[in-house]
Structure 1
């Protein structure tokens, strides 16, 4: 129940005064008025007559700027949480997407929080590129008055873990800034450490500011259930269909999951994170290589489990990362391990394709126990897949397009932990633990009149199925153009009948395909882009947004180069000017990528 206003209080006047204020501004005002009321209450309790009280002087809130550079939107969420927590502590935070932050303002900042992710092998996300370049350049200002802290988001499966955050932290220090806290690097399970970072850094900032009184419990809303890596939803498998034809070298599955009763919502462009289980044969190989008993009890994340169960459900076995090698090297004093860790040029190729069983076999250790093995290995992270459905078209369902990863390496047959889990070990009616990962920077245009160009190869077509389903259901005026590539027309034309149906109905304005192995000379989607250069440029000049989904190196970089060539040719620009045109598309969020 909402609280009743005191008699004589003009609610209409209050609403008029606060109309147009943001949630953040309203939160600050509530704390301000609550502080005044508390101060008045204290005065009355001391017996001082109200008329004798000196006017209350409210100190100007301490300014705080919070910058986020995010690829999927996780950084934005943390920034917003930090802003809410800062407001509750009497600070005056401003939150900026790095893409929109005027770099020249940096020289005036006094308190700064930087929340930034790393994209791929050490690259800044698109939103952070300009500020990252500016800070590293000759025009960056001296910052002797700046107090700052950096939260770096990353993924330890990449060699250059949290590199962008490291760059920001080191450069701000080199320019004269003073750290409020040492930089904190967080892996894919970022929520708890990020919340702790927010708490720790704000404690530094408000050390000399009186803490505001707690919000009365009566007006606090009960938190909604949030599904996450720590609390996933168990979704029933409704359908699993192999999309490739007989004889294909690929193995792609269309998987439908039930969300009924979960309350989970998603938008086209979002991803679904799946919590996998390790394959039992791999667990057995690791146990044999470690020479440890499967029943030995270990403590993992506050639970006591048999080692085999801990390895199957809680620890990463299929991917090796640098931090695992560093911890293992302390238990296995092999000179070659130390040489690998000291040489990044050798380390990256060594890690690629190897798993935990390979490591334990190549570098056995007499010091290894069940508990030290569990402590050495990385927690088993979820795997995220682009959602291939529209919630408008499939209420209470979510669809995925999953390519099964299988390969031979170092004398053993191997497979992707989650793709093989979904392809081989999940039966109809069984349950898969999932949660939604929002991808705010891979969304459909706000205007339904905007045309879109979608470029995807293989399973990279998944989000575009969601895009077209959504726009067809809404009857949007904007045109949809799909460029899709895969090896063979007869076996690998994923969702062929759906695309042709959309094309027939006019809901897909254009469809261009590139089946690379159907002719002597390989043809890829970037080749189709070049062939359609005049049309591509006309769409872009008319305001179209362009989307790319698939492999970062083989598709993402190739499309970017082709797009530059298109602009250079059709606009008659130099290579540098064409690159600036493409860069402007990125900054305007009209050239969006979901690449991996």
Structure 2
């Protein structure tokens, strides 16, 4: 009688996991031993064991990609638990604007511990609308203030929550020191190097962190809104005047759905139908994306809402986060930012970014600022200074890498440092040129690759320079280099990711699937980190 061999153990690591065949075999054996899966044990289905950082119900969160549209993310999340669909509704940047990560913010809403649905600043109205729909699906969120307080008290505190200045709920007062324009007059942009004094607040930070700034609205914009609704500027609203509330406490762009609901009650006929449609997220005239609060009032002229009801219909003003562009070792007691002043025209009216123009022209040296430090979510230098680093940061994306280089210089890190920087024109958009050349002379910056998109006949971007130097870049990765990207999430970061996979495939002689698995493994191991917005 022939003895039958026992069936091979069911693999725990799925074939799609970002590991080689040898790595999968080792991990399958490791987890099998860990779980005591001997001949008598019940086999576990492939992929059912969660790897570090992987939730058992999210299949590695395939929607966690800031380059995806909201519709794409929600489609990938179909059939998942509610908290996962809420996570998919976020902007997927883990930027910290909400005070935590996309996953933590969505989980707190799903657990009915967070009633605010508008904290995802990059997600904007689209995220808030989707969250509202999902909250309604689960039967409602936190409504009663006492219930909210009880749920918050029951949640375990975050490590930094109890320190003043380390969360958005407890900002500290700092002092604005100076602004210096980084680009020449011929540049199409105004980019400022901002210096802020933290010495009196005793606020500390690490390279890779971001600084939250509580800006205030342009008083001229508040005055225009007051004129549009025909209300007195000194009308009392809560413990302030209407004008003070509009400047200090309310978001004036974009126009929220609740404002259109209020407008629909104050008008009739076709105008009411349009307001109702806008309140539902529809776009009857094709201009919904351009409507801030003033534009919404100008679209429905002649309405005179009660000032208190008007303020209640607006969203609270949110802080803005900026990547810190300094190391505390280089300039103790101070923090630096690199900020584009956002200005553009719509229908002949100048629109301005809230915090960027506040820092550009509405705050003066010596003025107080409300700020806090947002700890980085997986964006930091390697602990070993002998580890090489590759940094890709066009435009203001250079900010954290200036901090990295200052830190590496101060700590005498021996690993190589390679920066890919780009902008439009070298003559007027080469930020921190003298500093970077000085860092090259000291050896703190080993290689500097520059891309200028408005010089010559061909537009050259950072991903193009990566491809030009692909063999050296791949050699650095094979030496264990950490790879960092900072900047635009929708276009640049996606193009850099594609270029990286292509470089790995070509220089590493890998199939497209293996090249993507290599890049995915870099992310999983913490060697590929992004700070995108």
Which category of TM-score, normalised to the shorter sequence, fits these structures? 0.7 to 0.9
Measured in 1, the distance between the counterparts of 2:58 and 2:217 equals 49
Aligned to 2:276: 338
How far is the alpha carbon of 1:160 from its aligned partner? 3.4
> How many residues are treated as equivalent by the alignment?
438
TM-score (norm 1): 0.66
Among 205, 226, 233, which residue is 1:266 paired with? 205
User: Deviations 1:205-226 (Å, cap 9, x if unpaired)?
Assistant: xxxxxxxxxxxxxxxxxx6544
How far is the alpha carbon of 1:440 from its aligned partner? 3.0
How far is the alpha carbon of 1:396 from its aligned partner? 0.4
How far is the alpha carbon of 1:103 from its aligned partner? 2.3
Aligned to 2:125: 159
Measured in 2, the distance between the counterparts of 1:386 and 1:317 equals 24
Aligned to 1:310: 245
Helix, strand or coil at the partner of 1:528: helix
Larger relative strand fraction: 1
Aligned to 1:8: none
Q: Does 1:253 align with 2:221?
A: no
How far is the alpha carbon of 1:555 from its aligned partner? 1.1
Q: Does 1:550 align with 2:487?
A: yes
Q: Does 1:100 align with 2:39?
A: no
Alignment of 1:286-435 (within 5 A): 286-299=225-238, 304-322=239-257, 324-326=259-261, 329=264, 334-342=272-280, 346=283, 350-364=287-301, 366=303, 368-435=305-372
Higher relative contact order (CA 8 A, sep 6+): 2
Helix, strand or coil at the partner of 2:180: strand
Q: Which runs of 5+ in 1 are unaligned?
A: 1-96, 107-111, 133-147, 174-178, 186-191, 203-222
Measured in 2, the distance between the counterparts of 1:356 and 1:332 equals 17
CA RMSD of aligned residues (A): 3.6
Alignment of 1:176-575 (within 5 A): 196-199=150-153, 225-226=164-165, 228-299=167-238, 304-322=239-257, 324-326=259-261, 329=264, 334-342=272-280, 346=283, 350-364=287-301, 366=303, 368-575=305-512
Helix, strand or coil at the partner of 1:407: strand
Contact 2:89 2:131 in 1 (8 A): no
How far is the alpha carbon of 1:113 from its aligned partner? 12
Contact 2:165 2:172 in 1 (8 A): no
Contact 1:332 1:365 in 2 (8 A): no
How far is the alpha carbon of 1:329 from its aligned partner? 4.5
Contact 2:259 2:310 in 1 (8 A): no
Distance 1:166 1:591, change over 3 A: farther
Measured in 2, the distance between the counterparts of 1:466 and 1:403 equals 18
User: Deviations 1:463-494 (Å, cap 9, x if unpaired)?
Assistant: 10001100110011221110001101010000
User: Deviations 1:60-102 (Å, cap 9, x if unpaired)?
Assistant: xxxxxxxxxxxxxxxxxxxxxxxxxxxxxxxxxxxxx995246
Measured in 2, the distance between the counterparts of 1:432 and 1:323 equals 30
Contact 2:216 2:358 in 1 (8 A): yes
Distance 1:331 1:580, change over 3 A: farther
Distance 1:420 1:270, change over 3 A: same
Measured in 2, the distance between the counterparts of 1:289 and 1:168 equals 35
How far is the alpha carbon of 1:376 from its aligned partner? 0.7
Q: Which runs of 5+ in 2 are unaligned?
A: 1-49, 60-80, 96-101, 104-109, 157-161
Higher alpha-carbon Rg: 1
Helix, strand or coil at the partner of 1:236: strand
